[in-house]
Structure formats: structure tokens, C-alpha cells
Amino acid sequence: MTNSESTPIILWFRKDLRLEDNAALACAAECGRPIIPVYILEPREAGNGPLGAAQAWWLHHALQALHRALEQAGSRLILRRGPADAVLGALIAETAADRVFWNRRYDPAGIAVDSALKEEMTRSGLTVRSFAGQLLHEPSRLKTGAGGPYRVYTPFWRALEASGEPAEPIPAPTRLAAPDSWPASERLETWRLLPTKPDWAEAFSTVWTPGEAGARQRLEDFIDTGLSGYKARRDYPALPHTSMLSPHLALGEISPATVWHATRGLTERLAAEDVIHFRKELAWRDFSYHLLYHFPELDTKNWNERFDAFPWQDAPDLLERWQRGQTGYPIVDAGMRQLWRTGFMHNRVRMIVASFLIKNLMIDWREGERWFRDTLVDADPASNAASWQWVAGSGADAAPFFRIFNPISQGEKFDVNGDYVRAFVPELAKLDAAFIHRPFEAPPALLAAAGVKLGETYPLPIVDHKAARNRAMAAYQALPRPD
Ligand code: FAD
């Protein structure tokens, strides 16, 4: 081997914790040079998106899985903590690497870190290469006829569909060349990503298998049993008809292109409407990144400035009742407790609880965004912010403010027998289905038979829905009109 052939390449893993369909890894492997895979635990605010506590749990297990997969390919994962420029600078000095490869990330903090790094490293004579793969398409790629960003989903979807299939997934390399000597790695345990006392993530591992193999299995199971009927059943939280791939996608254990291509050809045995609808949901993720890319303050500022004057309530007690699933509205409480127990919440219920916080309690959507960011295993800077603004009515393509979800009728429509509520609000488990979403209207004898004492074993509603609805509408109508 000549000198340059033995000079290592640093492969920086970020939101792409996988070997398959990893363009940066594939390109590094093709060079035939030794590869030094590294994961950097960056300061929270400096890139890689926000790291909430639930996602930190996921990250711990995802890094272990990635390390194992790399070992099988003859390599390993080096762990380092600190600002990326300092960590990479040190690694380059230790290993004499002259190339750094990574897959692009699209959160504003990550873009800022990466752009500065690329400029600095290139100036000092290093070769820096970045690749696509976190999204179906680059967020800057699709443009309206006038050349600007899309603000409305449906035309975005049409443009995405018309722009051709995402690139075919690249197979995982089977062998990765190792350097003559490995740089030191920190021990994952010292990063303290897992909760200890109390271990609130105890139940997470009964639901999730972080890592690339777990993601692949989840996709296969969903295609085998969940995708059929997706369009009609995806709104029913007690039914297993959504993929639950979002946490795997959030940390890039599977690429969206892999998911997209896995659904190709399925219309021969499944209804086209199910396959298309699933792809459309996947495209919402791209749309959220498209919005974030063009409006980097999506998680902090109202897209629609009219909402800047909204009279949000400062109500820490009510916020805490919402966070703990103690609102007295069973579908809201079930959702918030599913979130606490499993780090996940069904999409329909996310919309209901978000509407409840924003419109029934009139608490700023940013409080909800923050709570979700900390408690969701799929916390994503684009999808979370875009979805909260969608529910608030302040977003680019948003539900109109007057669409205020009624937590009782939503529960009765989408959790008809109350199975979802029973699973997460055990104190109501024995209540008759007719009252499971409105226990406060149940006859005393029925409550007694079900062992429910309102105000004791289960809370009375913290607000009256109708009165709260009227208050929110009045506040909205009093907002200054757009010119
Ligand atoms: P499926 O129905 O199987 O959909 C497949 C994939 O498409 C998902 O894994 C996800 O990547 C994508 N997707 C589906 N719906 C949406 C959507 N509305 N917006 C963006 N992408 C979507 N999703 C996150 O990934 N991270 C978040 O932090 C997040 N926060 C949310 C906050 C609120 C208030 C709301 C209403 C929605 C939020 N979502 C978020 C979107 C959505 O709820 C989840 O993506 C979905 O529930 C994940 O479940 P699934 O994988 O079973 O979805």
C-alpha cells in the first residue's frame, strides 16, 4: 500500500446510524482506505438537533447496535464528546486522516456547524465530502413555479411525486478496512444517556428495538400485517396499523428511501390507496424539513405573525396536569401516559392532546413542542415544530384555528370501545364503553361498579370543553386582522 492508500478516512455518523443506504459510508468503503467511524456527542444546542431525554435513551441503544454492526464488518465505532470542530481536529491530529465524510443533516443548528466545519477543514487542506440520505429529496430541491418554497403540502406532494423516485438504496458494505491502530474511544456508559433513578424508560424496551436490524424488522412486520388497511385504520390508536418507524427514521437507522422502495410493487397484492397514503405520510416528513429549511425559526416563532398577539395563559399547574395525563379527559390522559410510558404517541392522539393544550388550556404551543421534544423517542426538529404549528393554526399549511378537537367525540369516534384508554388509564378499565370517554357524565352506580371515584381515583375535567372552546375562539377573533 502506498502512503495515501493507508491514510484513513474519518466517517462521521450523525443522524444516519446505519450501514445500509449510507452514501458517505459506501463512498468511503469504495476508496479502500482504512475508515475510522466516529459518533460525536455534541453540546445540545450545537447541531444534531435537540437531544431530549427519551431520545437519549434511544441513542444509547442505537450506538450499541451500530457498534456491533460495525464490528461484524471488521470495524468499530469511536465515541467522543464535545464540539465537533474540536473533536474532529483532535482525531485528525491523532490519526493523520486527510478526509472526512458525512451525510448531511438539515436542522438549522446542524447546518451551521457543518458549513463552518467544511469551510475550515477545506481551507486547511482536508477533503470534506457530504452526501444526501436523511430525506427522500434534498429540502432545497423542490421549488414552486415562482421559484420559492412550498407552503402547502398538497402541491409539495405533487411536485415530489412528479420529480421521480428517490435514489435506489445502496447495499451495506460487508467489510470495512481498519486502521493500523485505533484511536481511543470514550465509554458509552460515561455519557449517562440512560435514566437511572427513577428509571422512567423501564417499559421502552418492551415496545422498541433500537438499531438498524430493529428498524428493518419493524418495516417488514408493517408491510406484512399493518399496511393493508392503512388508509382507513391509521387513525385508530388501538389498532396496529401505523408503522411506528418514526424513531428509527429520526436517528437514521433506516433511510426514507429504503422505506419508500420497500413499498414498490406492493400494489399487486395490497390496495393502491394504502400504499399511496403511506408514502404521502412519509412525504410529510420531507415537507416538514422543507419548511424548517426555509424558515429556520419554525420551533420558536409563529410562521403566521398574526399569532404573535395571542393571549397565551401562564398556567403551570394546568400544564403539569396535561404533562402527567391528569386532565380528566380520558383520550388526552391516555395519550400523555402512552407518551410517558413508551416514548411514543399515536398521531391522531398527538393532534388531540396538542389541540387540548393550545385551545382548551390556551397554553403556548411552544410549551407542548418542548415537552414532546423531551419525551418522544422520535423527537424531530422539523416534524415536531411543523406539527405543533399545524395544530395551533399558526403554521404554513395549518389546520384552521377554529378546528378545535372535541376530546370526547374524538375519543368516541377513534377509540370506539375505549381499548386505547383502557390500556393507558387503568383506573377506568372497567368503565362501560358508553361512558369511557365521558366518565363525568356516567351514572353514579356505573362509576361505583367500575371502581371509579371521580376526583379521587380519576380526576374531574380540569376545564369545561364548551366554555374553553368559546374562550379560545373569542381570543382568536380578537387577534388583529391581516392587512
Ligand atoms: P406512520 O403513519 O407509519 O407514517 C410513516 C412515517 O411517515 C412516520 O414514521 C413519519 O416519519 C412520517 N410521518 C407520518 N405522519 C407525519 C406527520 N404528520 N408529519 C411528519 N412526518 C410524518 N413525527 C416525528 O417523527 N417526530 C416528532 O417529533 C413529531 N412530533 C409531532 C407533534 C405533533 C403535535 C403531531 C400532531 C405530530 C407529530 N409528529 C412527529 C408526526 C406524527 O405524529 C408521527 O410521525 C407519527 O405518529 C409516527 O408514527 P408512525 O411511524 O407509526 O407513522
Computed from CA positions of residues 361, 287, 243, 211, in that sequence, does the dihedral angle turn out positive or negative? negative
Phi, psi of 81 (to 5 degrees): -120, 140
Q: Using CA atoms, how far apart are residues 459 and 457, in angstroms rounded to an integer? A: 7
Q: Is 200 one of the annotated active-site residues of the chain?
A: no
Q: Does the beta carbon of 41 sit less than 6 angstroms from any atom of ligand 1?
A: no
DSSP string over 235-286: T-TTS--S---HHHHHTTSS-HHHHHHHTTTGGGTS-HHHHHHHHHHHHHHH
What is the reported pTM? 0.97
Would you report the helix, strand and coil content of the chain in percent, each value rounded to 5? 50, 5, 45
Cross-strand partners of 10: 36, 100
**Closest alpha carbon to 159 in 170, 177, 145:** 145
Burial grade of 194 (CB within 10 A; 0-12, 13-18, 19 or more): middle
Instruction: Calculate the dihedral angle through the C-alpha atoms of 171, 78, 378, 148, rounding to the nearest 10 degrees.
Output: -70
CA 109 / ligand 1 centre spacing (Å): 21
Ligand 1 atom closest to 350 (CA) = 36
Nearest to 365 by CA among 307, 289, 317, 406: 307
**Nearest CA owner, ligand 1 atom 20:** 285
The kind and range of the H/E element at 79 are strand 78-81
The beta strands (E) that lie in 21-76 are given as 35-41
- 388 as an active site residue: the answer is yes
**Of 200, 281, 304, 427, which is the active-site residue?**
281
Amino acid (one-letter) located at 127? T
Distance in angstroms (rounded) separating the CA atoms of residues 89 and 17 = 22
Cα angle at 299 between 295 and 303, to 5 degrees?
50
Q: What is the pLDDT, as a whole number, of residue 188?
A: 98
Question: What DSSP character marks residue 35?
Answer: E
DSSP result, 326-361 = -SS-HHHHHHHHHHHHHS---HHHHHHHHHIIIIIS
Catalytically annotated residue among 57, 58, 284, 371 = 284
Q: Is 390 assigned a catalytic role?
A: no
The predicted structure's pLDDT at residue 2: 47
Closest C-alpha residue for ligand 1 atom 29:
384
**Mutational test site, ligand 1, from 157, 378, 397, max ligand atoms within 8 Å of CB:** 378
Residue nearest to atom 23 of ligand 1 (CA): 383
Whether residue 242 contacts residue 218, with contact meaning beta carbons closer than 8 Å, is answered with: no
**Cβ of residue 70 lying under 6 Å from some atom of ligand 1:** no
Q: What cell numbers appear for 13 in the block? A: 455518523
d(CA 242, CA 136): 19
- Tell me, what's the pLDDT at 279? 97
Q: Which of 231, 246, 377 to mutate to test the pocket of ligand 1 (most atoms within 8 A of CB)?
A: 246
pLDDT at 48: 53
pLDDT of residue 5: 81
Find the helix or strand (DSSP H, E) in which 113 lies: helix 108-123
**Torsion sign (Cα): 32, 33, 34, 35:** negative
Give residue 104 CA to ligand 1 midpoint distance, Å.
21
pLDDT of residue 267: 87
Give the Å distance between the CA of 186 and the centre of ligand 1. 33
pLDDT of residue 132: 97
DSSP single-letter state for residue 458: B
> In terms of residues, how long is the chain?
483
Complex ipTM, two decimals? 0.99
281 is catalytic: yes
* Cα 339 to ligand 1 centre (Å): 13
Angle between helices 316-323 and 330-342 (to 10 degrees): 70
Ligand 1 centroid–CA 14 distance in Å is 20
Count of CB atoms within 10 A of residue 214's CB?
A: 18
Question: Would you call 268 a catalytic residue per the annotation?
Answer: no
- CB of 107 shorter than 6 A to ligand 1: no
Return the half-sphere exposure (C-beta side, CA atoms, 13 A cut-off) of residue 24: 30
Axis-axis angle for helices 108-123, 84-95 (nearest 10): 40
> Edge-to-edge strand order for the sheet containing 99-103?
78-81, 35-41, 9-13, 99-103, 127-131
Q: Active site residue: 322, 365, 371, 390, which one?
A: 365
| SS3 (DSSP) at 455 | coil
Q: Which of 154, 245, 276, 281 to mutate to test the pocket of ligand 1 (most atoms within 8 A of CB)?
A: 281
**What spacing in Å lies between the alpha carbon of 347 and ligand 1's midpoint?**
6
In whole angstroms, what separates CA 162 from the centre of its chain?
Answer: 26
What is the 388 CA–ligand 1 centroid distance (Å)? Answer: 11
How many whole angstroms from 403 Cα to the centroid of ligand 1? 20
- Ligand 1 and 289: CB distance under 6 A: no
- Determine phi and psi for 463, rounding to 5 degrees: -140, 160
Q: What is the mean pLDDT of each run of 10 residues along the chain (483 residues)?
A: 79 98 98 97 71 95 98 98 97 98 95 96 97 95 94 96 94 97 98 91 96 98 97 97 98 98 92 96 98 94 94 98 98 98 98 98 97 97 96 88 94 98 98 98 98 98 97 94 73
| Residue 396 confidence (pLDDT) | 85
12 in catalytic set: no
Residue 407 preceded by cis peptide, ω within 30: no
Of 388, 390, 406, 412, which is the active-site residue? 388
What gap in Å lies between CA 314 and CA 393, rounded to an integer?
A: 20
Distance CA 10, CA 102 (A): 9
